[in-house]
Amino acid sequence: MQLILIGATGLVGRAVLRLALADARVTGVVAPSRRALPAQPKLQAPVVDFDRLPADAPWWQADAVICTLGTTMKVAGTRQVFRRVDHDYPLAAARLALAAGARAYVLNSAAGANASSRIFYNRVKGELERDLEQLGFASLTHVRPGLIGGEREVARAGEGAALRILRVLGPMLPPRWRINPAPRIASALLEAAIAAAPGVHVVASDRLL
């Protein structure tokens, strides 16, 4: 299969890329990014401006899309920029891939995703899920991790302390509150893309341990 990976430079995206390039079922990966990626077999990594995605690029022709793109309020600076990165960019990529024939879209969302949430982060994630469902992919999967375990290129404020606490308390906590390792999330994303089960599906955090 031919796979598009949006967000290949993040913690989960890097893990997806490693798995996909090593998987014999995946014939090629296109990973559009804002910066150049190291050359690897099976990888095409066009440098793009997500505000001006090239609608006529031939690499939109793929079997499935995995999206792990996301930012934080600290990096984004404003709610407007955060929404653009976490909602508008993934949705724009989905529309272009669907128009080019993609059957499956798999989103790395969040455990609290809810379009009606009073929490801005959760509301944006929920609105993206809702808007993706309206596009009409043959297969759509929302993977909803909780706190993600792994080494980020840029540390997120407060996340390190939370991870340390949860590592200690993990065995005593309900499954849905435990740390979700990035490789486990990546595996769930890739398997959902390859399986492309018809309909809309949700993979909850307790399945990502």
Question: Annotated catalytic sites, by residue?
Answer: 121, 125
Amino acid at position 70, single letter:
G
Rounded Cα gap, residues 118 and 79, in angstroms = 14
Q: Under a CB-based contact definition with an 8 Å cutoff, are residues 31 and 5 in contact?
A: yes
For the record, the structure tokens of 177 come out as 């509150």
Q: Which candidate, 204, 156, 193, 207, places its Cα nearest to that of 25?
A: 193
C-alpha distances (whole Å) from 185 to each of 27, 84, 141 are 21, 23, 13
- Interior/surface letters 11-30, b for 16+ CB within 10 angstroms, e for the rest: bbbbbbbebbbebeebebbb
The values of phi and psi at residue 86, to 5°, are: -90, -15
Cβ–Cβ under 8 Å, residues 36 and 8: no
Nearest to 170 by CA among 160, 161, 162, 178: 178
Instruction: Return the axis-axis angle of helices 182-195 and 11-22, rounded to nearest 10°.
Output: 50
